[in-house]
Amino acid sequence: MNTSSVPRRSVLRALTVAVALAGCAAPVWDAMAPGAAAFAAAPETYSLTIRHLDRAGSSTGSFDTTVTGISGPGAGESVHPHDASGTTTVRLPKGRYLLDSYLTTGKAADGTDWIVRPRLDLDRNTTVTVDARTTAPVDVRPPDRSAAFLHGMMVTEVKHGGATRLVNRMVSAPNLRVAHLGPDAEPGSVKQWYDAYWSAKSGDYALGYVSTGSRALTGLTRHPSAKDLATLQVRGGDRPGTDGSATVELQPSAGPAVGLAARLTVPGTATYFVTPERGTWDVTYWSPTAPGAPAKRYSADGIPVRAGSTTVRTFDGAASGPAPTRAVTETHGTR
């Protein structure tokens, strides 16, 4: 792969994700908040107590928990309860909620635990225990064992009563552990995406998988072989009068996703090994231009791929001489 050695940056598709910020003010319907008694018309609330346990089964304050309303008076609201003791309580209106909790040990080598409860029906005072001992590893790796992990992201989407809520976690190391918590949600109402990117001398790996069901994932294991993957090559020509490197961005077409961007020395080729299970792929090509001129952006969306085959996208024409900027697709047979 003829790319420069500059660090890659992630390309994040716009997400409609419920984000709760640490230290945010409590919603007016939180009956535990100061002054809440002034809201006489506020809906009846229930106490939600969340206990957090680490991998040894002990209480831990090293967590990041979000409770997001799906239906009822709390729909669309998010709270971010925290207490150093590991046990925290918040009062919320009756309704359906999505709970996700991210636990750490404070040591990067230990990885992280992400626990998702897609169905939390709050109709009485409730206690939930988030236990890191229930998680299983996300073990998704390319066939090239020399490949280096770049970054990844898991997204959970929950649908109920016409509403959709999403939560996600970015990771910079391949040691994420995940688990489902609580009862099953409705069939087909929980969808999860996991995308991970690796770099090797032969090219970059884009490994993406999708699952749909009634539960969040408890672990994920995928070890694709070379024949299970498709090859996607992006070729950049060298037009006279231009200066600098091109930039190539790759990401899945479907769903919320994290992508990959890299500089490409032109003329040259960026090679990606991608999972057909993730569907089609989008490529954005930022062409080198004359000194001082703005870069030109070209896109090729919805590129179909097939295991064992190579698809080529060429930008800026032939490298041997001037040509109008264009994208050409070629598909080759099984490797």
Look at residue 259 and tell me whether its pLDDT is greater than 90: yes
Residue 279 β-bridge partners: none
Find the radius of gyration of the CA atoms of the chain.
Answer: 23
Concatenated DSSP letters for 61-100?
S-EEEEEEEEESTTTT-EE----TTSEEEEEEESEEEEEE
**CB contact burial 55-77 (16+ within 10 A = b; e otherwise):** beeeebeebbbbbbbbbbbbbeb
Domain spanning 226-332, CATH architecture: Sandwich (2.60)
Q: 179-228, pLDDT tens digit by residue?
A: 999 999 999 999 999 999 999 999 999 999 999 999 999 999 999 999 99
Residue entry with tokens 């490994």: 207
pLDDT at 248 (0 to 100): 96
Residues 174 and 200 sit within 8 Å (Cβ to Cβ)? no
| CA distance linking residue 172 with residue 90, whole number of Å | 31
Residues 128 and 49 sit within 8 Å (Cβ to Cβ)? yes
Domain coordinates in residue numbering, the chain: 14-223, 226-332
For residue 304, whether the previous peptide bond is cis, meaning omega lies within 30 degrees of 0, is: no
Lowest mean pLDDT among 39-53, 154-168, 250-264: 39-53
Q: What is the rounded average pLDDT of the residues 79-95?
A: 96
pLDDT at 36 (0 to 100): 41
pLDDT at 296 (0 to 100): 86
CA atoms within 13 A on the CB side of 173: 11
pLDDT at 41 (0 to 100): 59
Q: 125-152, pLDDT tens digit by residue?
A: 999 999 999 999 999 999 999 999 999 9
Q: What is the rounded average pLDDT of the residues 62-72?
A: 97
The SS3 call for residue 110 is helix
Q: What is the rounded average pLDDT of the residues 29-44?
A: 49
Look at residue 14 and tell me whether its pLDDT is greater than 70: no
244 or 119: which leads in pLDDT: 119
pLDDT at 317 (0 to 100): 64
Q: What is the rounded average pLDDT of the residues 154-177?
A: 96
327 or 112: which leads in pLDDT: 112
Look at residue 39 and tell me whether its pLDDT is greater than 70: no
Residues 53 and 101 sit within 8 Å (Cβ to Cβ)? no
Look at residue 10 and tell me whether its pLDDT is greater than 70: no
| CA distance linking residue 156 with residue 162, whole number of Å | 16
Q: What is the rounded average pLDDT of the residues 282-295?
A: 85
Look at residue 272 and tell me whether its pLDDT is greater than 60: yes
pLDDT at 293 (0 to 100): 77
14-223 and 226-332: identical CATH topology: yes
Residues 10 and 261 sit within 8 Å (Cβ to Cβ)? yes
DSSP 29: T
pLDDT at 108 (0 to 100): 84
Look at residue 160 and tell me whether its pLDDT is greater than 80: yes
CATH for 14-223 is 2.60.40.10
Predicted structure pTM score: 0.82
Distances (CA, A) of 188 to 157, 173, 208, 315: 11, 30, 19, 40
pLDDT at 34 (0 to 100): 40
Lowest mean pLDDT among 46-60, 74-88, 199-213, 236-250: 236-250
pLDDT at 328 (0 to 100): 44
Burial of 108 (0-12, 13-18, 19+ CB in 10 A): exposed
pLDDT at 237 (0 to 100): 86
295 or 64: which leads in pLDDT: 64
Q: 89-123, pLDDT tens digit by residue?
A: 999 999 999 999 999 998 888 899 999 999 999 99
pLDDT at 62 (0 to 100): 96
126-131 sheet: strands from edge to edge: 87-93, 45-53, 126-131
193 or 7: which leads in pLDDT: 193
Q: What is the rounded average pLDDT of the residues 276-297?
A: 89
Token pair listed for 24: 């945010």
